[in-house]
Structure 1
Amino acid sequence: MHWDWAVAAEVFPRLMAGLVVTVQATFVGAALAYALGLVLAILKMSENRAVRWTVYWLSEFIRRTPLLVQLYFLFYVLPDLGLFLSPFLAGVIGLGLHFSTYTSEVFRAGIENVPKGQWEAAKSLNYTMAQTWTRVVLPQSIPPMIPPLANYLITMFKETPLLAAITVVELFNAANIYSNSYYKYLEPMTLVGALFLLVSIPSAYAAMWLEQKYSRRN
């Protein structure tokens, strides 16, 4: 077995197209994970015990079951119930739901770190609840959350090969389809690893830089 540059050149455009899908799935899934995670964090701090416990156990159920099983449920089980999702949509929903249970804990910790005096000050200024959240709480709590949220973004990027199980032609699946068609595995899979490293290593350094930046501010 030896490296064949002709094979590498042939498969590379397919891998780049797959990488675009991978990046798209990562960012769309992350946007959903962040938005839903913030909602879950707020609900977990609700004064209503029933709401708190319902959201807590729902989050635990999603977090403690494999992402792959959740993807299969969204893409293969929901059609039996009359709900059909495209592979890409099922993939980003799966990523977003799964990782929202992790980002919710980041948001909850950040929100709980806002001093009680800030809440009382907002109340004394007759701020509405919406004004309190948007003008006082979130501006103070979000900056320290950026490093861990960035780390989850990188983790989500590395989990995208699971989308191949529901026929999303992302980076790994693009290589897999080519390899199974031409029985060439060395070049496609090596390039997949190289492309993942090419994206994830700079992203990891960026996350470390953000962590150092905001830790100095605190």
Structure 2
Amino acid sequence: MMYGYVWDTTTPLTFAISILPILGIGLMVTLKAAAVGFAIALVLGLVLALMRRSRIKAISWSVACFTEFVRDTPLLVQLFFLYYVLPDFGIVLPAFMTGALALGLQYSAYTSEVYRGGIDAVQRGQWEAATALNMSKLLTYRDVVIPQMIPRIVPALGNYLVSMLKETPVLSVVTVLDMLGLANMIGERTFDYLVPLSMVGLIFLPMTLICSAIIHTVEKALPKSGIPLR
């Protein structure tokens, strides 16, 4: 029994059906963690990409070192650091926010490179035209660069969203009760891990397929020449 639900272990099918509502609770946690983490990755990745383009060498070099460090170290190590080490410095975060922050930091290093590639893909003539029109940097990015960049980076960002969604089960190691965490608890109490863990895999499969299909649809709908932001 968990969350007021009682599972039936008579047969594998009845067991699977009876634990489905419990796994649904974990699914909501999984989706929320992925959404918050991806939002952090999108915003922080853009900030890092712009800082990486800074003409001040100290800033661009520091950001380059940070992104390389984050990309080249395991997510699990970063997660343990945030959850177990930060409290030694007086920074205590809830398990869910720690997990979402770890996901966001890890993937911000990847999204920053996606943004940087998208910005670099804008033709040099577009930058020169903006300069000739005496446009400020803010206006250049807002009205010229970003509208042309978005269609180019949607596929890559979509891939990272799907990848992040599949990475969320790692949060169970810091007591975040997502689907995997709940499935493990059910397995511990029933001594049957096959059904709950198989259910988690079967839920993830259509979820990632639907996410990929949505991203593909958005990619096809966006005009290749760029989108107007006003």
TM-score tier, shorter chain, comes to over 0.9
The reply to whether residue 74 of structure 1 matches residue 103 of structure 2 is: no
TM-score norm. by structure 1 comes to 0.93
Aligned to 1:36: 44
The root-mean-square deviation of aligned C-alpha atoms, in Å, is 2.0
* Alignment deviations for residues 69-95 of structure 1 (CA, whole Å, 9 cap, x no partner): 100111111111111000110011000
Structure 2 counterpart of 1:51, one-letter code: I
Aligned to 1:146: 154
Structure 2 counterpart of 1:204, one-letter code: S
CA contact (8 A) 1:172 1:192 kept: yes
Aligned to 1:93: 101
Identity rate of aligned residues, in percent? Answer: 43
The reply to whether residue 196 of structure 1 matches residue 204 of structure 2 is: yes
Note the C-alpha offset of 1:3. Answer: 4.6
Q: 26, 29, 40: which one pairs with 1:18?
A: 26
Structure 2: gaps of 5 or more residues: 1-8
Separation in 2, partners of 1:65, 1:172: 23
Structure 1 counterpart of 2:171, one-letter code: L
Note the C-alpha offset of 1:202. Answer: 2.2
SS at match of 1:132: helix
Structure 1: gaps of 5 or more residues: none
The reply to whether residue 120 of structure 1 matches residue 128 of structure 2 is: yes
The reply to whether residue 4 of structure 1 matches residue 3 of structure 2 is: no
SS at match of 1:47: coil
Structure 2 counterpart of 1:189, one-letter code: L
The reply to whether residue 61 of structure 1 matches residue 69 of structure 2 is: yes
SS at match of 2:122: coil
Larger helix fraction of residues: 1
* Alignment deviations for residues 99-131 of structure 1 (CA, whole Å, 9 cap, x no partner): 011111110000011112212222222222211
Of structures 1 and 2, the one with the larger relative CO (CA 8 A, separation 6+) is 1
CA contact (8 A) 1:144 1:215 kept: no
Runs of 4+ in structure 1 deviating by more than 4 angstroms, as ranges, are 208-218
Note the C-alpha offset of 1:211. Answer: 5.1
Q: How many residues align?
A: 218
Separation in 2, partners of 1:120, 1:154: 36
TM-score norm. by structure 2 comes to 0.88
Q: 43, 58, 70: which one pairs with 1:50?
A: 58
CA contact (8 A) 1:110 1:141 kept: yes
CA contact (8 A) 2:36 2:100 kept: yes
CA contact (8 A) 1:106 1:149 kept: yes
Separation in 2, partners of 1:46, 1:160: 33
